[in-house]
Amino acid sequence: MIISDETLMERVKHGELRRASELFERYNKPLYNFFARLTLDRDLSDDLTQNVFLRMLKYRKTYQVGKPFKSWIYQMARNIHADHYRKNKIKFSDIQDVDQMRSRLAGFDDRIVQDEREKLLYVSLFKLNAEQREILILARFQQMKYEEVASLLDINVANVKVKVHRAMHKLKETYLELEKI
């Protein structure tokens, strides 16, 4: 029988720390991919992913039983990402130069970026503002339901749909513009 994420986290909260390894197994790769798509940096993504699980253990008592675990862990991931850039006084992964972006993608993880069209998609994605990029990564790449994204961002589902639609429109515009270059 598969135990729900929420039940596992409730047990971790109450001292069954060995249960955290099950949550790690379920969320390690998705969180790594989330960070990898935000930063395009493998080592940084590994570090940030580890930090999520360290912080999960440190702040396990703050988990509210009955609330979705996925939203809680992704909120923690978003905070860790923001903290990293704030601490290092770096602007949020904004790479505006197309050539710089392409060279960065050339050395990036083949599991994330596999062909030239996909590289162009990532260049286009990074030309969006941080909010648009994040909502697309959550809704499209992480395949979170709109309800989960709404809970995570503390907005309503209709607002998520509008933001995703606008971001997709901007992504398409940018992609087609870059395709001509």
User: CA triplet 86, 138, 28: central angle to 5 degrees?
Assistant: 80
User: Of 59-68, 69-78, 83-92, 149-158, which gets the smallest average pLDDT?
Assistant: 83-92
User: Of 29-38, 52-61, 84-93, 100-109, which gets the smallest average pLDDT?
Assistant: 100-109
Q: What percent of the chain has pLDDT over 70?
A: 85
**Are the CB atoms for 135 and 74 separated by under 8 Å?**
no
Structure tokens at 162: 């509008």
Reported as a pLDDT band with limits 50, 70 and 90, residue 92 is very low
Q: Total structural domains in the chain?
A: 2
Residue 100 has pLDDT above 70, yes or no: no
**Are the CB atoms for 119 and 113 separated by under 8 Å?**
yes
Better-scored residue on pLDDT, 120 or 3: 3
Same domain, 50 and 37: yes
CATH number at residue 64: 1.10.1740.10
Same domain, 84 and 116: no
What's the pLDDT at 115? 67
- The total of other beta-carbon atoms located within 10 Å of residue 124's CB is 22
Q: Could you give the 3-state DSSP secondary structure of residue 56?
A: helix
Residue 47 has pLDDT above 80, yes or no: yes
Q: Which of 74, 92, 110 is the last residue of a domain?
A: 92
Same domain, 144 and 156: yes
Q: Which of 92, 116, 131 is the last residue of a domain?
A: 92
Task: Give the domain extent around 13.
Answer: 1-92
Same domain, 99 and 157: yes
